């Protein structure tokens, strides 16, 4: 039975990798955990896995393809029907695409899934988060953001697309989004922070070519486990040490500087305005 006094955590990409590991650890704290995945079967498997580890856990799931703004909106609505408030929102779902693909909304897929889904889901649920006594928003970015740039005249990368540049740009957008949101949350009880989880052995990139996937599998021995990669996510979500901390970029549970370019406020605000426009056309 869900206790209304327990914290409620919504985590995207919660069926595998960092998201699954974080969901389990947060469930151990007594919070109600709602995982988001694309496939019902994988969601049910993960819910059952958490309940085997934490029999008393309240674990729920919702499904959505987060590259679709319509499905993000449906997800937010379904969550709001089930839960009157949200204490912890973890934007974790992500992927990268070896060739340029376009979402159902006409957006380049790295940008659609890795940034626009974060932006839209967060803004749709912000009223729910503000009902919390201590709301926390966690944005899973990447150290790859240091190589990211945003050319607003070619936001969808119709020219000179490469996997590396598109992924880095989407992770750079995560950090810009975090800083812009932190300003908007000043004076509220809600905090937002971004993080680099480290180089983690997950299924990220498994949708790409067999050679790239094979190379990644060979390198997994040098990577962190999902449990190690989830440590900073869990720290920002539930640790008392992170209480009241906002507008920071973290690595290994410590605040560190993000890229120099990510602090340019005019770009943070321009991305916010563009994101509002790109989501405002979907009703």
Catalytic residues: 167
Residue 33 near residue 57 (C-beta atoms within 8 A): yes
Count of CB atoms situated within 10 Å of the CB of 162: 12
Show Cβ contacts of residue 253 under 8 Å, excluding neighbours closer than 6 positions.
231, 232, 235, 239
Q: How many residues in the chain?
A: 283
Quick one: which H or E segment has residue 272? Answer: helix 265-280
Bridging pattern class, strands 135-140 and 88-91: parallel
User: Rounded distance, CA 195 to CA 262, Å?
Assistant: 13
């Amino acid at each position: 039975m869900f206790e209304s006094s327990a914290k409620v955590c919504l985590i995207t990409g919660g069926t595998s990798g960092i998201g699954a590991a974080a969901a389990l650890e947060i469930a151990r704290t007594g919070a109600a955990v709602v995982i988001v995945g694309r496939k019902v079967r994988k969601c049910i498997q993960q819910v059952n896995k958490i309940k085997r580890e934490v029999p008393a856990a309240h674990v729920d799931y919702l499904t959505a393809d987060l590259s679709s703004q319509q499905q993000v909106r449906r997800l937010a609505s379904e969550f709001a029907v089930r839960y009157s408030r949200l204490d912890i929102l973890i934007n974790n779902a992500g992927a990268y695409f070896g060739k340029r693909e376009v979402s159902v909304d006409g957006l380049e897929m790295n940008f659609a899934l890795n940034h626009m889904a974060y932006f839209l889901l967060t803004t749709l649920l912000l009223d729910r988060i503000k009902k919390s006594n201590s709301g926390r928003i966690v944005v899973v970015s990447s150290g790859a953001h240091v190589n990211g740039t945003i050319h607003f005249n070619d936001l969808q990368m119709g020219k000179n697309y490469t996997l590396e540049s598109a992924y880095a740009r989407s992770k750079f957008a995560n950090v810009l989004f975090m800083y812009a949101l932190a300003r908007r949350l000043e004076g509220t009880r809600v905090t937002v922070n971004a993080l680099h989880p480290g180089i983690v052995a997950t299924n990220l990139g498994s949708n790409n070519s067999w050679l790239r996937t094979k190379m990644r599998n060979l390198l997994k021995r040098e990577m962190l486990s999902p449990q190690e990669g989830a440590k900073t996510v869990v720290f920002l979500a539930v640790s008392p040490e992170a209480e009241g901390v906002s507008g920071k970029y973290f690595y290994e549970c410590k605040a560190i500087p993000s890229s120099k370019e990510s602090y340019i406020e005019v770009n943070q605000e321009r991305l916010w305005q563009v994101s509002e426009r790109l989501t405002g056309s979907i009703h």
